C-alpha cells in the first residue's frame, strides 16, 4: 500500500512539473479561449496563415501541431532558405515542437515591411516552404486558433 501511494505521489509530481514547464512555451496550447495574440499554426508541415500582420515588436506564438520540430526563421529573400533580415527586421524562433514564442524585432520596424520566413529544419521540404510576416502598426491580436485545425483565428 505504501509503495502504491509513493507511485501516485510521484506521478502527481511529474504532472505538476509538466504543467509548470516554461521555456519558450506559452500557455493556451492553441485551444480556443486563450488570451488574444498573434499566432502561426504549423500542421502537416504547412504554415497558417501564409501572411501574418503584426505591429512592430510583437510577440508571435507558434502552435506546432506536428510531432517534429519546426522553426520560424526570417530570410531576406523568399526561397533563399538562409537567415536574413528585411529593413533590419529579423527573427528566429529556433526549432521546437509544441507551442513556442518569438519576438519580431526591432520594436521600431517600419510599417509595410514584409519579412519572408522558413523552417531551418525542413527548408524547401515544407508543404508551404515560405510564409511571411508583415509589419502593420494597426494589426490587432486575435483569439488563438481552436482545436486541431490548421488555421482560423480570424486570419
Specify if 155 maps to a domain.
no
Specify if 15 maps to a domain.
no
Q: What is d(CA 56, CA 50) in angstroms, rounded to the nearest whole number? A: 18
Provide the domain count of the chain: 1
Specify if 144 maps to a domain.
no
Q: Enter the pTM of the model.
A: 0.73
CATH of the domain at 42: 2.60.40.420
Specify if 68 maps to a domain.
yes
In tens, the pLDDT along 69-124 reads 999 999 999 999 999 999 999 999 999 999 999 999 999 999 999 999 999 999 98
Task: Map grid coordinates 501574418 to a residue.
Answer: 52
Residue 92 belongs to what domain range?
A: 24-135
Amino acid at each position: 500500500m505504501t509503495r502504491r501511494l509513493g507511485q501516485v505521489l510521484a506521478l502527481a509530481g511529474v504532472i505538476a512539473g509538466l504543467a509548470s514547464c516554461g521555456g519558450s512555451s506559452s500557455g493556451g496550447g492553441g485551444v480556443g479561449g486563450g488570451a488574444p495574440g498573434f499566432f502561426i499554426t504549423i500542421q502537416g508541415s504547412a504554415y497558417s496563415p501564409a501572411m501574418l500582420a503584426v505591429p512592430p515588436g510583437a510577440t508571435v506564438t507558434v502552435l506546432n501541431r506536428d510531432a517534429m520540430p519546426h522553426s520560424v526563421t526570417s530570410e531576406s529573400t523568399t526561397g533563399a532558405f538562409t537567415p536574413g533580415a528585411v529593413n533590419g527586421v529579423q527573427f528566429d524562433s529556433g526549432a521546437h515542437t509544441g507551442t513556442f514564442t518569438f519576438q519580431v524585432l526591432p520594436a521600431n520596424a517600419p510599417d509595410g515591411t514584409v519579412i519572408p520566413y522558413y523552417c531551418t529544419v525542413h527548408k524547401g521540404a515544407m508543404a508551404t516552404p515560405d510564409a511571411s510576416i508583415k509589419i502593420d502598426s494597426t494589426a490587432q491580436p486575435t483569439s488563438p486558433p481552436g482545436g486541431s485545425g490548421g488555421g482560423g483565428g480570424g486570419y
